[in-house]
Amino acid sequence: MNTRRLTGEAAVYTFGIVLDTLAPFLVLPILGRYLTPGQFGLADVITATAGLTYFAVGFNLDQALTRYYYDEEDAHRRRLVTTHLAIVSVSGTVFLVLGVMGLHAFRDGLQDLPAWHWALLSVPLMVMSDQAATLFRLQHQPFKQLGLLSVRAFAWVLFTFFFLVWWRAGISSIFIGRVAGAVFGLGASGYALRSLYALRGSLRFAIRALRFSLPTLPAAFASWGLVNAARYFLVIGASAEETGYYGVGVRLTYIVSTIGIGVVMAWGPFFMGIKQEPDAREIQARGLLYFIAANVVCIVPLLMFAREAVLLLMGSQYLPAIRLVGPMLAATLFSNLSLFLFVQISVSERTHWQSVSYAIGLVVMVIANVLLVPAMKGMGAAIAMLCGHLATAGTMWFAGQTVYTVPVSVTRVGILIVVLTGCLVSAPAMTTWFGTTFQGISVRALLTVLLWSACLAAVGPRDVVRFARTMVGKRT
């Protein structure tokens, strides 16, 4: 296990994902002042619909590419990559045509039709740029991936800002920026990507990729539903304003999900490379414990300072979103945990368990939305999201331990869950009792440090120190 290399790549990947996620955050203060909560809610509904198309086009091919890339010799890898690009291109074209036909068929019932068109166009372009980023990751070229994501993020911010502030394009500016970001990102990485593709693909690779990916497609749709279906329940059962508040809460969770995705992106290829080693199961167990601890460490300050975060990002008119932050951050923890556990399931190639897990989570979330949204509005949707992700992670854990058992310390994980639960209960009260005075902020900061210490105690200080020394210059 080359821990130093793993840690270095994970840091660069995480930085790239943070940068890519930071782009929408940079324009949030502008969106909060130029868009009302109702407009922001409509933009979220359009984004959610485009996300459904994104999963349909992507076919989870990144997972298939990661799974089989290292099984092929160097001479065949270029044809494998070309095959995956061809599948994305064909599926993207088909869904783009079908999407345009669908928009024109229902144009009378849609608000802001140009925004829907721009959102649809952004889907295949974003899938292609994400696949290019995955390819750089598999080549162990984190800085090239960072370059692609940096250009994409910069173009997104620049074009969104210009079309929103000067052109007054409204909601459409968000998706114009997304299209521009994908185009400029691919253009900037075109020269580096040229040598990684072959002139033609392989039918054998295409069949294998589809055989791996298609069983995960229901999981992709269910995963989309876990995150986005609540927006439709809110639009129908509450209001566009409540949808906007829900969207603000989701964006605060991006900070945690970004770190989780960055770690999983590095962990997946790494673990696939050592899965045959005798201590692979122990390494997976240790990685899982540290992963949960890192997520809890990120969640604690966001919970304690949710009010300040909403004021900074969106302004005072979005303050009602504060009440949704707690359950949504907890849901993000279990969402990240599901991603990490899928690496464990992928070793056995029983990818149907992902679809089963997300389907169970989606059913739980839909039932919770039906029961809670009419009475509790946005809070009901947030609690439903937590229930859905908890059911997904629980099923994924059962599946992972069934197909590839790892020796996880239940006691240590339990301590981390207790810390998270205590923070969920105490954070809203802390904001109410102590307010935004200097003394109140100091008390919340002190409590944050104490909860961090509890996380350190859960994972074991000696283990952390030993792991840190390994990262500096040793190989284990």
Task: Indicate if the pLDDT at residue 471 is higher than 70.
Answer: no
- Euclidean distance between CA atoms 395 and 388, whole angstroms: 11
Give the tokens for residue 120. Answer: 């649809």
Alpha-carbon dihedral of residues 106, 112, 116, 121, nearest 10 degrees? 130
Backbone angles phi, psi at 277, to 5 degrees: -75, 155
Q: Which of the four pLDDT bands, split at 50, 70 and 90, describes residue 140?
A: confident
What mean pLDDT is reported for the chain? 84
Q: Which residue has the higher pLDDT, 320 or 58?
A: 320
| Element at 449 (helix H, strand E) | helix 438-459
Give the tokens for residue 128. Answer: 């292609």
Task: Indicate if the pLDDT at residue 220 is higher than 80.
Answer: no
The mean pLDDT value for 34-47 works out to 90
- Which three-class secondary structure state does DSSP give residue 468? helix
Distance of alpha carbon 388 from the chain centroid:
16
Alpha-carbon dihedral of residues 163, 180, 22, 226, nearest 10 degrees? 100
Q: Which residue has the higher pLDDT, 369 or 422?
A: 369
Task: Indicate if the pLDDT at residue 381 is higher than 90.
Answer: yes
The mean pLDDT value for 61-77 works out to 80
Give the tokens for residue 161. Answer: 């800002």
DSSP string, 139-154: TT-HHHHHHHHHHHHH
Q: Which of the four pLDDT bands, split at 50, 70 and 90, describes residue 149?
A: very high
What local confidence, expressed as pLDDT, does residue 1 receive?
47
Tell me, what amino acid is at 216?
T
Task: Indicate if the pLDDT at residue 148 is higher than 60.
Answer: yes
Task: Indicate if the pLDDT at residue 73 is higher than 90.
Answer: no
Tell me, what amino acid is at 72?
E
What local confidence, expressed as pLDDT, does residue 467 receive?
54
Give the tokens for residue 12. Answer: 């660069």
What local confidence, expressed as pLDDT, does residue 355 receive?
80
DSSP string, 433-448: HHTTSHHHHHHHHHHH
Task: Indicate if the pLDDT at residue 458 is higher than 90.
Answer: no
Residue carrying the six token digits 């019932």: 109
- Euclidean distance between CA atoms 129 and 184, whole angstroms: 10
The Cβ of residue 78 has, within 10 Å, a number of other Cβ atoms equal to: 17
- pTM comes to 0.77
What local confidence, expressed as pLDDT, does residue 6 receive?
64
Q: Which of the four pLDDT bands, split at 50, 70 and 90, describes residue 3?
A: low
What local confidence, expressed as pLDDT, does residue 262 receive?
75
461: Cβ contacts below 8 Å, ≥ 6 apart: none
- Euclidean distance between CA atoms 246 and 237, whole angstroms: 13
Task: Indicate if the pLDDT at residue 199 is higher than 50.
Answer: yes
Closest to 341 in 3D by CA, of 274, 402, 410, 415: 402
Task: Indicate if the pLDDT at residue 65 is higher than 60.
Answer: yes
Give the tokens for residue 157. Answer: 């911010």
Q: Which of the four pLDDT bands, split at 50, 70 and 90, describes residue 292?
A: confident
Q: Which residue has the higher pLDDT, 391 or 253?
A: 391
- Euclidean distance between CA atoms 168 and 165, whole angstroms: 6
What local confidence, expressed as pLDDT, does residue 461 receive?
73
Q: Which of the four pLDDT bands, split at 50, 70 and 90, describes residue 177?
A: very high
The mean pLDDT value for 252-270 works out to 78
User: C-alpha angle with apex 341: 335 to 342, nearest 5 degrees?
Assistant: 95
Alpha carbons within 13 angstroms on the beta-carbon side of residue 275 total 19
186: Cβ contacts below 8 Å, ≥ 6 apart: 125, 128, 129, 132, 148, 193
What local confidence, expressed as pLDDT, does residue 358 receive?
86
What local confidence, expressed as pLDDT, does residue 309 receive?
87
462: Cβ contacts below 8 Å, ≥ 6 apart: none
